[in-house]
Structure 1
């Protein structure tokens, strides 16, 4: 029988037992919670598949077409299922999240396996690659609200930052291994083999979720149709300045810079740095290694008090580093900058989800994370716009101006009106929450 390391407070809420600070705190959620440990290992293999196939498919798109614009079109198609985020959030609120993840993971195995088969048979022209990218996107993007909101159910609120940092560590570990492995496999044995590795990683991810099928999730009462639930969630979150500011910064980051990383790194590698596929893999691995270090640092902080400040200022510094990378034409300097970019991306990647969960009520978590997914879903549109700009101005100039716009947007959103930069993650009241009638969480900065 699993030992439950959590205790019940006098108010009936679960609280974490005191744990040591520093590096011991970094692994707290993994050591004390078997269910979260299974989810974490599943995430490790799931995102291993994501990073491997992301590099391989982007490389195939650029190698097939030689056009940054067509690479942008491919990226837009692959990421377009992100636009389903609000409805995926409703599903996460209304249905069992573990079952949703099992279905999405199984779909990923089938989708990537089919693309790998077509690539092995040399039957993967550009239009088929577009369809394959769409199928893979449908397996990945709509499951994210369920994957993120499940964390809140498996750990205590005090361990939420730690658990999200550990999830970010899993992503960044695979971001080190996946691109490096994918690039090396392209160079040594070809793209189809790399895609088959992605398929195997997705399959292991599904297997790790199977023991969680008995997890009893609280299914919140339905309040009407999916459209009605999306509408009510929008109204509640729009009236919440902290949650709104967090989502607006997420929107800005995914408008100006994440499409560069998701779609245009092969263009950077070839046009600015003259790197082959293996070199591109190592460039992305530097970012993953930096992100891994950043995630370990945040995980070791535990339930720290300057969450809003780290989110806002870390994202702004991340944008400044991207501007420096855009101006670099030296391989070693670019590797160093990409490592620093990964380091600062942890502040954004870990805390965007933590802040969304902390500033909204549990009945809204799925829909709030669905809106986060929608904010990420701007990437297909912004990817096309950035592709046009890259054709006209070059990828370096496009990235520099995008980074500058992000820094301005983040500082304006985070420091004016919303008080996000001063948010500490401290709740009010005996139970930590002063619930409101519309499902909004009342918090103090």
Structure 2
């Protein structure tokens, strides 16, 4: 069911919307390394539970949704904390390289994991695939314990969480430049990346008929494209025309969504999805760079918490697209979502002329 698939994505991303601002505030108050470690422990436990109930053949829709929610809670704290931690380790001068390199690592693992996951599902079943996922979280947990990050001053914060939370919202609301980037993130998540939740339906007999392995290749191609996009930024000695690149990547996310929505040829779909991933990787990395470089060090956790909140609208877009797909067809729903992103890009160019010149 396209609707149930998108509902599961909704449960996974919902905590970003609810907890994003709070998690960003917490990231400005505690040791970020240990908060990331706690998140990895939660992910490891969730993956193990999912593997066990699948292998025991007692899995129910509600249990999958509950585990997706727990994964989402971990993600809502992990995103702002890990992004701010990168800045702690690298420092402001080389921040764009560090942020881009982190994105490269995440994208590469996503590309590899998508392909391996599809193969494991067809060879050893879902239970074995989830066990492999749990092992990967265990490896991440071990690597985090070895990390030495520079001491920072944010741990000594004595003001209340509520005060810091309000302080962050005031800054974002009164700064049009920051607010625009955050709104673009919301649109991209709801109608650009939200469309990714429908890929299992595209891969099914309804459109391409390529099964789990084909879906793995499609996800892998998209992740590989995103890896190359982030890698192109990581390799840059000096990052220029940041705002212009951000807008172009945003526009191409919409255009390529429209293109792959109408494709009924597997190879063409893989090529278009790799291009979409390239634009996605560039857009995500550039917006994080711009957000972190344009706020004080003491508010980097909160600005990434606000970004996490914005990507939390993804579930709403995914659920809406799932509903729309069952009414007018999955390809038409995807085409409409891409068109909305393109229109948003045009509106931003007209209404916020400063953004293309941002660095």
TM-score by length of 1: 0.78
What is the match of residue 273 of structure 1?
208
1:221, distance to aligned residue in structure 2 (A): 5.4
More displaced stretch, 365-374 vs 203-212: 203-212
Residues 12-411 of structure 1: matches in 2 within 5 Å?
Answer: 67-83=1-17, 84-212=19-147, 215-219=150-154, 222=157, 224-261=159-196, 263-270=197-204, 271-411=206-346
Q: Structure 1 CA distance, aligned partners of 2:223 and 2:75? A: 19
Q: Which secondary structure does the structure 2 equivalent of 1:249 belong to? A: helix
1:348, distance to aligned residue in structure 2 (A): 0.7
Q: Structure 1 CA distance, aligned partners of 2:71 and 2:147? A: 24
Q: Structure 2 CA distance, aligned partners of 1:150 and 1:303? A: 22
Q: For the Cα contact (< 8 Å) 1:223–1:229, is it kept in 2?
A: no
Q: For the Cα contact (< 8 Å) 2:195–2:337, is it kept in 1?
A: no
Residues 416-427 of structure 1: matches in 2 within 5 Å?
Answer: 416-417=351-352, 419-424=354-359
1:214, distance to aligned residue in structure 2 (A): 6.6
More displaced stretch, 150-159 vs 407-416: 407-416
Larger Rg: 1
Q: For the Cα contact (< 8 Å) 1:109–1:199, is it kept in 2?
A: yes
Q: For the Cα contact (< 8 Å) 1:80–1:137, is it kept in 2?
A: yes
Q: Which runs of 5+ in 2 are unaligned?
A: none
Q: Which secondary structure does the structure 1 equivalent of 2:333 belong to? A: helix
Q: Structure 1 CA distance, aligned partners of 2:156 and 2:75? A: 26
Q: Which secondary structure does the structure 2 equivalent of 1:264 belong to? A: helix
Q: Structure 2 CA distance, aligned partners of 1:220 and 1:99? A: 12
Aligned length: 357
Q: For the Cα contact (< 8 Å) 1:161–1:302, is it kept in 2?
A: no
1:140, distance to aligned residue in structure 2 (A): 2.1
Q: Which secondary structure does the structure 2 equivalent of 1:360 belong to? A: coil
Change (3 A) 1:284 1:122: same
1:381, distance to aligned residue in structure 2 (A): 1.8
TM-score by length of 2: 0.96
Q: Which secondary structure does the structure 1 equivalent of 2:36 belong to? A: helix
Q: Which secondary structure does the structure 2 equivalent of 1:212 belong to? A: coil
Q: For the Cα contact (< 8 Å) 2:191–2:317, is it kept in 1?
A: yes
1:357, distance to aligned residue in structure 2 (A): 0.2
Q: Structure 2 CA distance, aligned partners of 1:226 and 1:356? A: 21
Change (3 A) 1:410 1:221: farther
Q: Structure 1 CA distance, aligned partners of 2:297 and 2:135? A: 34
1:226, distance to aligned residue in structure 2 (A): 2.1
Change (3 A) 1:396 1:300: same
More displaced stretch, 132-141 vs 146-155: 132-141
Q: Structure 2 CA distance, aligned partners of 1:302 and 1:246? A: 24
Change (3 A) 1:238 1:221: farther
How large is the Cα RMSD of the aligned pairs?
A: 1.5
Partner deviation per Cα, 1:275-304 (whole Å, 9 max, x = no partner): 110010011111112122222211122322
Q: Structure 2 CA distance, aligned partners of 1:218 and 1:392? A: 53
Change (3 A) 1:214 1:379: closer
Q: Which secondary structure does the structure 1 equivalent of 2:240 belong to? A: coil
Structure with higher helix content: 2
Change (3 A) 1:160 1:279: same
